[in-house]
Amino acid sequence: MKRYIKTIRLFWSTAFASQLEYQLNFLIELLAMLGTLLGSVFILSLFFTGGRQLGDWTWESALVIQGVYTFLDGLTNALLRPNLTEIVNYVREGTLDYVLLKPIDSQFWLSVKKFSFAGLPEIILGLSIVFWAATQSGTSFSFYLLSVFIISLFVGFVILYSVWFLIAASSIWFVKTWNATEVLRALLAAGRYPISAYPVILRFIFTLVLPVAFLTTFPAEAILGELQFNILFFGLILSSLFFIFSRFFWKFALKHYTSASS
């Protein structure tokens, strides 16, 4: 365990150093991130001016969902996208060989090797929006509420990660996976709005088939104190199943790995 923590620390400090290596590129990345933030704030401001309701959500609570979305999007940009889109390259170039021969879990290596610091401000903004909007809608924070919120966020993130990893792992067979990133971003983007804003059939799909509801709506309900305990329990089981399946699938995929030839 200590070895894994030290490894993560070194992974991320080298990732930071790599990003700083190209000063101009780093500046441009910061600017691009600023642009993204301004865009998000603009979309949020549309909620303010309209005063309309989405589903049975007031605008404050819808704002909480936007906050959760922004947070997850930041986490995606910081961790999921840099790492999981890289798996295809590992397979195509055959450098996966080096990862597989390290005495460390290969799924761990492939999932946390990189960290893009440009995602951090979005993460912070997302959390700030969540807490501000939740306060606005009259939530009184308690230890219990915060724990449920953190657990439900964790559940959402694990589901998103597992689905993404499953698709990336299939590159062992297909080598070039179809642009999975875009599909997953669309999935996450569907979670920008409360699930009850969608027609019934989509609501059903987003809860049970593609668990979008777990990504944003349920964490938002959690901080607003509206999440039912059995949904949290169901989420924990579902995310564990997703995660276990992603590990199982990875091990299975590696049996079919033929390694790029020389």
Contact between 173 and other proteins by CB under 8 A: the answer reads no
103 sits near other proteins (criterion: CB under 8 A)? yes
- State the number of binding residues for other proteins (CB under 8 A): 28
User: Shortest gap between Cβ of 88 and other proteins (angstroms)?
Assistant: 16
CB nearer other proteins, residue 13 or residue 179: 13
For the CB of residue 6, give the shortest distance to other proteins in the complex, in Å: 5
Residue 89 engages other proteins in binding (rule: CB under 8 A): no
Quick check: 24 binds other proteins (CB under 8 A)? no
Q: By C-beta, is 6 or 52 nearer to other proteins?
A: 6
- Residues in Cβ contact with 85 at an 8 Å cutoff, skipping those fewer than 6 apart: 168, 180, 181
CB closer to other proteins out of 19 and 70: 19
End-to-end CA distance of the chain: 35
Torsion over CA: 43, 48, 54, 56 (sign): positive
Q: Contact between 17 and other proteins (CB under 8 A)? A: yes
The region of 44-52, 118-126, 232-240, 250-258 touching other proteins under the rule CB under 8 A is 250-258
DSSP state, residue 205: I
101 vs 61, 95, 131, 137, CA distance in Å?
Answer: 48, 10, 44, 52
- What H or E segment, with its residue span, contains residue 242? helix 229-255
Among 27, 43, 100, 150, binds other proteins (CB under 8 A): 100
* Residue 236: Cβ-neighbour burial (10 angstroms; 0-12, 13-18, 19+): middle
Say whether residue 22 binds other proteins (CB under 8 A). Answer: yes
Q: Work out which of 35, 97, 183, 204 binds other proteins, going by CB under 8 A.
A: 97
Does 230 interact with other proteins (rule: CB under 8 A)? no
Largest CA-CA distance found in the chain, in angstroms, rounded: 63
Rg over CA atoms, the chain:
19
Residue 40 in contact with residue 72, Cβ under 8 Å? no
Site residues for other proteins per CB under 8 A: 3, 6-7, 9-11, 14, 17-18, 21-22, 93-95, 97-98, 100-104, 109, 255, 257-259, 261-262
